[in-house]
Amino acid sequence: MRARWKTRDVMLTVVLGVTFGFLYWALVQAWTALSVLAGPFGDLTQHVLLGGWLLVAPVAVAITRRPGSGVVAEVMASIVEVVFLGSPVGPMLLIAALLQGVGSELPFALTRYRRFGWGIYAVSGALGALLVFGFSAARAGWFGSDLLALRLGLQIASGVLLGGLLARVLVSALRRTGVLESFAIAREPAPART
């Protein structure tokens, strides 16, 4: 936190962003298939997968423990999607990603990047989902729609599960592989294997 970013931190954040950008793209394929299958409710099924988009920020923060790494990784992922793979949401995805990153990183920042329990991850996912929900609701005119509460509920639940708790599972799995030995995360004792 107090130390400068090391080049490895920069590289890791960017690599995470790019890899997740690619994986998000795979997710988008599943997403489009799902939304066509579900017909009129296609738009809704997409909310179920929304949390997946929030995943990279908590992962980057938990590994590097540098302020801003979550936001950078999330924005990188969205750049990959928009510029190289082409997402139907277009450049506004960058703004959405910025909001997601800020929302997901806020709980970690408030605890000064010291606490990485299940609770913090869950709050991170929920907050990211909430921020981006406000943004897309304003853009797509959902406020007048009948489904506002349902949309909000689905997105928050998805954010907590896919964007929060899954991130912790992923981080501990990554840690067990040993590739994170040179990062800030390795300074705390490894959790007991479950």
Partner 1 sequence: MSRLNPLTPLGLLLVLGAAVSFVLDGVALVGLHGWLVVVLACGLRVGVAELARTHLVFVPFALGVLMTNAVSRSGAVLAELGPLDVTDVGVRVGLALALRVLVVAVPAVVVGRRTDPTRLVVAAMQHLPLRPRGGFAVLTAHRMLADMPQRWQLLLAAGRSRAPLDRRGAPRLGVCGYARAAMGLLVGGIRRGNRIADALDVRGIGAPARTARLQEPFSRADALVAAVVVLGAVTAAVGPSTAVGP
CB 92, min distance to partner 1, A: 4
CB 120, min distance to partner 1, A: 21
Three-state secondary structure call for residue 144: helix
Closer CB to partner 1, residue 111 or residue 165? 165
**Rounded distance between C-alpha atoms, residue 153 and residue 68, angstroms:** 28
Near partner 1 by CB under 8 A: residue from 48, 67, 68, 94: 94
**Rounded distance between C-alpha atoms, residue 57 and residue 102, angstroms:** 9
User: What stretch of H or E contains 112?
Assistant: none
Near partner 1 by CB under 8 A: residue from 57, 64, 78, 82: 82
Closer CB to partner 1, residue 54 or residue 126? 54
Taking the alpha carbons at both ends of the chain, their separation in whole angstroms is 29
CB 110, min distance to partner 1, A: 25
Near partner 1 by CB under 8 A: residue from 2, 3, 39, 149: 39
User: What stretch of H or E contains 82?
Assistant: none
Residues from 128 through 187 that contact partner 1 (CB under 8 A): 139-141, 144-147, 170, 173-174, 177, 179-180, 182
**Rounded distance between C-alpha atoms, residue 128 and residue 7, angstroms:** 27
The residue whose two tokens read 């090391």 is 6
For helices 118-140 and 148-158, angle between their N-to-C axes, nearest 10 degrees: 150
Tokens at 104, concatenated: 């997901």
Contacting residues toward partner 1, per CB under 8 A: 6-8, 10-12, 14-19, 21-23, 26, 32, 35-36, 39-44, 46, 76, 80, 82-84, 86-92, 94-95, 139-141, 144-147, 170, 173-174, 177, 179-180, 182
